[in-house]
Amino acid sequence: QITLKESGPTLVKPTQTLTLTCTFSGFSLSTSGVGVGWIRQPPGKALEWLALIYWDDDKRYSPSLKSRLTITKDTSKNQVVLTMTNMDPVDTATYYCAHRPVMSRDSSGYYSYYFDYWGQGTLVTVSS
Partner 1 sequence: SSELTQDPAVSVALGQTVRITCQGDSLRSYYASWYQQKPGQAPVLVIYGKNNRPSGIPDRFSGSSSGNTASLTITGAQAEDEADYYCNSRDSSGVVFGGGTKLTVL
- Which stretches of the chain bind partner 1, using CB under 8 A? 37, 39, 46-49, 51-52, 60-63, 96, 103-104, 106, 108-116, 118-121
Instruction: In whole angstroms, give the CA distance from residue 19 to residue 32.
Output: 26
In the complex, least distance from residue 27 CB atom to partner 1, rounded to whole angstroms:
15
In the complex, least distance from residue 92 CB atom to partner 1, rounded to whole angstroms:
16
In the complex, least distance from residue 3 CB atom to partner 1, rounded to whole angstroms:
12
Q: What phi and psi values does residue 45 have, to the nearest 5 degrees? A: -120, -175
Cβ atoms of residues 31 and 53 within 8 Å: no
In the complex, least distance from residue 88 CB atom to partner 1, rounded to whole angstroms:
21
HSE, side-chain direction, 13 A CA sphere, residue 119: 25
Residue 85 parent element (H or E):
none
Instruction: In whole angstroms, give the CA distance from residue 126 to residue 9.
Output: 10
